Structure 1
Amino acid sequence: MDGAPGETIGDQAADDAALIAGLTERLRLLRIVSQQRRYHGRPTPRLPSKRAIIELLNDIVATLYPRHFGPQDLAPEATDTFIAQMLASIRLRLADLVITELMLAPDADATASHARGEALSRAFLERLVIIRDLHDTDILAAWQGDPSAMSLDEVAFCFPGVAAILHHRIAHELSRAGIRMIARIMAEHSHSVTGIDIHPGAKIGPAFFIDHGTGVVIGETAVIGRNVRLYQQVTLGAKSFQDDGTGALVKGQPRHPQIGDDVVIYAGATILGRITVGQGAVIGGGVWLLEDVAPGAMVTQARPMLRFAPG
């Protein structure tokens, strides 16, 4: 006869416990090997929390634009109090995250990392005024550049390109201060919610407008001037990657385009390498570009021809 139901359930629980114990041990061994490879035998440091970084990014946005992204019931007379409270919270949380990132360095010193984290978090708060001022020019550029935009509020709420640019301006401030992991996590979160991939190292001038936006890629060393407009699926990428002679890639080298003021780049254009697109140039849709463009020039694809098959 088969065993009693209670015995079967007990055997299954024992099997599950043995399976879980074995898997836990195997994962522990893999984790140890990975940590030894990354940290070279020193104590395993604490990692920044991705969730905390995303929450911080959202709170920074709410602080910069409290009427749009702050609490739903925020009264006008309570706005300054809300902002003051948020700024205090942002500074403390950012300092903790920065210190955590700095402590990942092989030669990290706890005292120096703590002092730098505190200083950088205060300096970042000072830059929020500049970020807000710059992003107001982005919102205005979108409203002026898109006939479908009925109001500045609609632009601020609804345009994914505008959201991606604001996220970038926040992440860029951290990247330029050397806080690259936190900045990159913010950038990749923005990529996931907007479909627009902007490396936090890219330098972008005021009044920048990405129309529609899905599939736009802007590389780490790209430089974009004032009053530039991009459409969907534009790539400002690298043509090739330099190595050090042993096959290892050389990092941080300028390898992405420089886009001058007042340039328009239409949908699907791919611009690769450290080339310069001069002021006022227009790059047509679907263009594949590997060389400099003079100021004021217009670059287009060869015009397609319509031919009819013999009847």
Structure 2
Amino acid sequence: MSKSDPHQHPNDMALDYGDLTHLLPTNYKQTIRNWLEEDCPSFDYGGFVVGEEESVATLYGKTAGVLAGVPFFNEVFAQLGCSVEWHLHEGEFFEPVKQVATVRGPARKLLLGERVALNTLARCSGIATRSRLMLRIVRKAGYQGILAGTRKTTPGFRLVEKYGMLVGGVDAHRYDLSSMIMLKDNHIWSKGSITKAVHAARAVGGFAVKIEVEVQSEAEADEAIAAGADIVMLDNFDSDGIKIAAKSLKNRWAGKSHVLLECSGGLTLDNVENYICQDIDIISTSSIHQSVQHVDFSLKLPRSSSSTQQE
């Protein structure tokens, strides 16, 4: 199997968590309203050309991928008074060229929402596709731990990108700075030591917020665990080093079963298998959502009878 070929990405990796739409905050509708206003801040010249005649548009999936971003697509057209009928389930893998959905409404409104809806669906589906593919790779290699994304997301578009990870079947990791306390090198250097940074974080985060510490060596990992970290990220270790360090730490801290070990730094579809070991609880990577190829979709309205007669 080619690791980079989404055509080798079957539906048997799809995870059924129920309707992920229920996760979305109420303000996502305002975000979509802002996107529509950004795309048409004044006159809708193209809309004037086509008018308000009722029409039926077909959404095609032009490249293979996992469908993701359904609630955002739906909301774009709902705000414009259009309706969407889906012919696939979200999270389903499809081959090109596939009729994915039917959208009904005034021609002007269909075209007003077209680009915002397609861009969102394409980006979200691309992330879900890459996430599912990497998940398949690590599972086939025998890894049973957590595969996660990172916070290296696009400002203003994080909700869509994190949603795509979830549809792809991977862990979205922390959503923002308030979701978990992650102490990286800059935090530690500024505070003076790992121990001081962890203690300060615990003083304000209390029992309800987990603390993760990024480390560059086993000695730093030992200090983080001793200070009370919940998660230790072994950052930028090579593939042999990560296995040695993880095994050593698990053995040395066997009594601290609550401490999770995370592996991160430069992991891709091509090298992730080299880093897999069962002593690592979490593999995290930005390669499943940063600079990911979009899934290509198109929305086509039918030709009018007048244009057919003229031909």
TM class, shorter-length: under 0.3
- Larger radius of gyration, structure 1 or 2? 1
With a CA cutoff of 8 Å and minimum separation of 6, indicate the structure with the bigger relative contact order.
2
TM-score, with structure 2 as normaliser: 0.26
TM-score, with structure 1 as normaliser: 0.26
Give the number of the structure whose residues are more often helix, by fraction.
1
Give the number of the structure whose residues are more often strand, by fraction.
2
